[in-house]
Amino acid sequence: MKKVQFNNKFIPYLFVSPQIIIILVFFIWPSVMAIYYSFVMQDAFGVSTQFVWFQNYKDALLNSDYYASFGFTLIFSSLVTLFSLSMGLFLAHKTNNMIKSRGIYRTLLMWPYALAPAVVGLMASFFFNQSHGDIYRFLNQLGWKFDPTSDPFSAQAMLVFIASWKQISVNFIFFLSGLQGIPKSVLEASLIDCKSNSKRFWTIIFPLLAPTTFFLFITNITYSFFDTFGIIDTTTRGTPMGQTKTLAYKIYQDGFLGADIGGSSAQSVILMLFVLVITIFQFKYLEKKVHY
Amino acid sequence: MKNTFSSKLFSHVILILASLMFLLPVWVIVASSTHLPETIVNNGLQFFTGHNFINTYKSILFEHSGYTKNVTAFRMILNSFIMAMGFAIGKVIISSMAAYAIVYFRFKLATFLFWVIFLTLLLPIQVRIVPSFEVLADLNLLNSYTGLIVPLIASATGTFFFRQYFKSVPEELLEAAKMDGANSWNFFIDILMPLSKTMSAALFIVMFIVGWNQYLWPIMMTTDPQYSTILLGIKEIYQSNFEGTYLPEFNRAFAMTTLALIIPVLMVLFFQRLFVKGLVDGDK
């Protein structure tokens, strides 16, 4: 906050009101409704509603589908985060070490940011397609009986690959700008103190990137939970055998396509709590960063 | 430092391979879109461009058939453009105003309202999908540009972006402006916003791309094909190719994919510096 400020009592409300009003109508109100729906049950025609306490939560949590989805989401998001973070860092480090060609590689590696997850998913669905997909054929020639339409493992591995591919560029951009933000003097000092390239990277450069890494870690988790929706919807759609549904995709299928309002809302609320935990975690850390 | 040359070479090889890993798949789709559908059915995806570019693109952009039975790709691109523009402009206006109030005013509910804005980060569309649809239906906003744009512009990212920037603006600026008798509105419009031109442009670029690439929201909000965005065209292709509504018209499917990705990709390429600024400065 500024030391010099305006003291008008009314005008600031005028300035924040557009955003606050939209938030109230399109964020808070639907979320409150989701919480309400998660505690009631409606009959098939939506005529009568009954308050059922935690029945929807019980139904959701005791369902084996939910566990499949939960397990998949955890493994999927960990792997996507791991792969795309490490690839992003690796490529950013290599690019940053280039002198003349840095700009070119930067461009060549950052443009995929512009691709929508749904577009990436659709393109991948052609390459991984049984009838004419080059990657499908290649993987089968290697001896892997790769078949995303019937083998859950194939489908899951494919999704991890596609989702990581899409996310590398974002991590690359942030890591590269993080690396460029490290003062020259620090790098020069480290060159004198430490001869080994890899040791210098892990003991000096990587710790300096910690804030970026942490921020990206959170970003990647949220990406794999929510933004991969477009990828899944244009590739597996949860098949085979419901083994490739993230929690967010399951909410969409159950609630929007399947019209199970109560169950889907209960799942929504569980997911909200999860995001809440992540955000608190993030802020705890950010506070520390400010003190440092 | 003995192996400088070979290690440099090794780095180049890795970076080139990585660049190809991103370029090739997209290129193959773009190149294949310029071939006849038979070529693709018989010989698979194509690496070199063919001779059917004008035919395919003309038909998909302006004629009603196959994937574009109800709405032409031209119309879908227009809708995407309107949505992305509205989203990006709306976001810059709304979030700069909110950030201005929070940074430059002392008022009772400042902290509380800041947390309300922050709360939007906790509520991605996926967790409030069914009630959001109902709210939009109650307000009669389904199948409208307002419904496509306005609900999306309220999220917190832009406000944080401007808040961060406004905090870095020197204190003396406001002191001087106050001495010259500027009121809060003058200061915002005549001094602060012109000063934030670059930052606004940077945020605009990023938000344009984010807006263009929206997928789930338009799926929910539009049933009338006249409001389809080009990303919904993508969904249509998936539906028909893999659920067999039409014969696979691969060239048209690839052309549609190309049209969906070309504009955001060009934005990133042309406005590289602004784009990186908008992305990196905003999110930290």
* Chain A: residue whose CA lies nearest to B178: A6
Position B262 scores a pLDDT of: 94
Cβ neighbours of A12 in B, within 8 Å:
101-102, 105, 107, 110
In a domain, A138, yes or no: yes
In a domain, A117, yes or no: yes
Please state, in angstroms and as integers, the Cα–Cα distance from residue A25 to each residue in A17, A22, A35, B63, B152, following that order. Answer: 12, 5, 15, 39, 11
DSSP helix/strand/coil, A42: strand
The reply to whether B24 touches chain A by the CB within 8 Å rule is no
List, in sequence order, every residue forming a beta bridge with A50; answer none if it has no partner: A41
Number of domains in chain A: 1
Find which of A122, A123, A257 to mutate to test the B interface (most B CBs within 10 Å of its CB). A122
Backbone torsions φ then ψ of A42, nearest 5 degrees: -110, 150
CB A268, CB B127: distance < 8 Å: yes
Interface ipTM: 0.90
User: Who contacts A234 (Cβ-Cβ below 8 Å, separation ≥6)?
Assistant: A118, A121, A122, A124, A125, B234, B235, B238
- Residue B225 above 50 pLDDT? yes
**How many other C-beta atoms lie within 10 A of the C-beta of residue B177?**
18
Closest among A275, A278, A284, A38 to B123, alpha carbons compared: A275
Position A20 scores a pLDDT of: 93
CB A234, CB A118: distance < 8 Å: yes
Find which of B127, B135, B223, B231 to mutate to test the A interface (most A CBs within 10 Å of its CB). B127
CB A177, CB B276: distance < 8 Å: yes
List, in sequence order, every residue forming a beta bridge with B105; answer none if it has no partner: A6
Stated pTM of the model: 0.91
DSSP helix/strand/coil, A183: coil
* Domain residue ranges of chain B, discontinuous segments joined by +: 71-283
Q: Output the CA torsion sign for B2, B4, B5, B6.
A: positive
CATH number at residue A130: 1.10.3720.10
The 10s digit of each residue's pLDDT in B140-183 is 989 999 999 998 888 888 898 899 889 888 888 888 888 888 88
Residue A288 pLDDT class (50, 70, 90 cuts):
low
Please state, in angstroms and as integers, the Cα–Cα distance from residue B190 to each residue in B142, B169, B195, following that order. Answer: 37, 15, 9
User: Who contacts B193 (Cβ-Cβ below 8 Å, separation ≥6)?
Assistant: B96, B200
CB B283, CB A219: distance < 8 Å: yes
Residue A289 pLDDT class (50, 70, 90 cuts):
low
* Chain B: residue whose CA lies nearest to A14: B101
The reply to whether B17 touches chain A by the CB within 8 Å rule is no
Q: Does the beta-carbon distance from A113 to B133 stay under 8 Å?
A: no
In a domain, A180, yes or no: yes
In a domain, A39, yes or no: no
CB A266, CB A56: distance < 8 Å: yes
Cβ neighbours of B139 in A, within 8 Å:
25
* Chain A: residue whose CA lies nearest to B136: A26
Position A1 scores a pLDDT of: 59
The 10s digit of each residue's pLDDT in B188-219 is 999 999 999 999 999 999 999 999 999 999 98
Of A110, A116, A276, the CB nearest to B215: A116
The secondary element (H helix, E strand) that includes residue A49 is strand A49-51
pLDDT above 70 covers what percent of chain A? 94
B270: its two tokens: 């042309």
Output DSSP code: residue A255.
I
In a domain, A221, yes or no: yes
Of A94, A113, A275, the CB nearest to B14: A94
- Residue A127 above 60 pLDDT? yes
How far apart are alpha carbons B215 and A230 in whole angstroms? 7
Of A19, A170, A264, the CB nearest to B95: A19
* CATH no. of B71-283: 1.10.3720.10
Q: Does the beta-carbon distance from B124 to A222 stay under 8 Å?
A: yes
How far apart are alpha carbons A125 and A136 in whole angstroms? 10
**How many other C-beta atoms lie within 10 A of the C-beta of residue B226?**
11
Mean pLDDT lowest for which of A144-148, A280-284, B28-32? A280-284
Closest among B98, B87, B99 to B210, alpha carbons compared: B87
Residue B242 pLDDT class (50, 70, 90 cuts):
low
Find which of A111, A172, A225, A265 to mutate to test the B interface (most B CBs within 10 Å of its CB). A111
How far apart are alpha carbons A43 and A259 in whole angstroms? 11
The reply to whether B22 touches chain A by the CB within 8 Å rule is yes
Average pLDDT rounded to a whole number, residues B108-118? 86
Rg (CA), chain A: 24
Range of the domain at A89: 63-291
A36: its two tokens: 């309400």
DSSP helix/strand/coil, B157: helix
Q: Does the beta-carbon distance from A9 to B107 stay under 8 Å?
A: yes
Cis peptide before A240 (omega within 30 of 0): yes
In a domain, A42, yes or no: no
Cβ neighbours of A113 in B, within 8 Å:
209, 268, 279
The secondary element (H helix, E strand) that includes residue A231 is helix A229-233
How far apart are alpha carbons A268 and A60 in whole angstroms? 11
Position A162 scores a pLDDT of: 96
Cβ neighbours of A87 in B, within 8 Å:
18
Mean pLDDT lowest for which of A35-49, A259-273, B120-134, B142-156? A35-49
